[in-house]
Structure 1
Amino acid sequence: MSFMSSLNISGSGMTAQKFRLDIISQNIANAQVTRTEAGTPYRRQMTVLSSVNTVDTGTFQDALSSAVGTQREGVQVDAVVEDPSALVPVYDPTHPDANAQGYVMYPNVNTSQEMVDAMGASRAYEANVTAFNATKAIALKALEIGK
């Protein structure tokens, strides 16, 4: 693994975790939204992350990418999906969005769970920053050897 691919892996991890934090923030902000533009209650969004590993197929392109250090490795956001869990019914017959029985359907967002997810994403981001800085420090020490 080359120096640049180590930085690319850490960078892709930071990008993915930042995106994950953005989605978590969106969920927390919409935790009480009973009517979206579509007319339905907000549904919790979740990110789907996957690893990116280029497979060496023995072609000239793979050899060139490996030599130049442009192979893609790391993590990427595959999709943002809606949480299929049930909405939360709350009895409030005075609410404008109440149904005939007097229940209002609130989003399936649990702010405690979102905060735990945010802490996990934040820690993962910090771990990627630490790995990035360690790789950078190793490269600087290697350059000092040549002095």
Structure 2
Amino acid sequence: MSLASVFNIAGSGMSAQTTRLNTVASNIANAETVSSSMDQTYRARHPVFSTVMQGQADGDSGSLFADQGQAGQGVQVAGIVQDQGNLEARYEPNHPAADKNGYVYYPNVNVVQEMADMISASRSFQTNADMMNTAKTMMQKVLTLGQ
């Protein structure tokens, strides 16, 4: 693995964390939306990440994990799944979105958990950016060795 591949790995991490931040923002924005039907109620969404292995990227196996033939080369978003947790049904017969029984359905979004996820994603993004800056500094130092 070369020092240059650090940029690809950190870049894929930053891209994945951007997707995570976008899903968190979507969840928080829809935390108080209501519906008169369980089928139409917003459900929290969460990204699913997977490792991009070296064998998938370029077929080279010259790494620490050569006996396994694969080394991590970054991360990718495998998909975004909906949380299948229970929705909150509240009895509010005077609400305009109430169903015939007087229930209004609220999303299964936990705002506190979403805020914690947002902080975690933001810090992960910053860590990847710091990795890129450190690799850039190291490459610049290597170039000055011959002077």
Sort the TM-score into its range (normalised by shorter chain): 0.7 to 0.9
Provide the TM-score with structure 2 as the length reference: 0.84
- Give the counterpart letter for 2:31 in structure 1: A
Query: Within 2, Cα distance between the matches of 1:16 and 1:115?
Result: 17
Query: Which deviations, in whole Å up to 9, do the C-alpha atoms of 1:87-138 show, x marking residues without a partner?
Result: 0112211112212332211000111110000001011111111111111111
When the two chains are superposed, the root-mean-square deviation of aligned CA atoms in Å is: 2.4
Q: Specify the alignment match of 1:133 in structure 2.
A: 133
Provide the TM-score with structure 1 as the length reference: 0.84
Ranges in structure 1 where 5+ consecutive residues have no aligned partner = 64-71
Aligned length: 136
* Identical-residue share of aligned pairs (%): 42
Say if 2:89 and 2:103, in contact at 8 Å, map to a contact too: yes
Counterpart of 1:27 in 2: which secondary structure? Answer: helix
Deviation at 1:32, TM superposition (A): 1.3
Q: Specify the alignment match of 1:111 in structure 2.
A: 111
Query: Within 1, Cα distance between the matches of 2:146 and 2:51?
Result: 35
Q: Specify the alignment match of 2:100 in structure 1.
A: 100
Counterpart of 2:89 in 1: which secondary structure? Answer: strand
Q: Specify the alignment match of 2:59 in structure 1.
A: 62
Query: Within 2, Cα distance between the matches of 1:62 and 1:116?
Result: 38
4+ aligned runs moved over 6 Å, structure 1: none
Greater share of helix: 1
Counterpart of 1:3 in 2: which secondary structure? Answer: coil
- Give the counterpart letter for 1:90 in structure 2: R
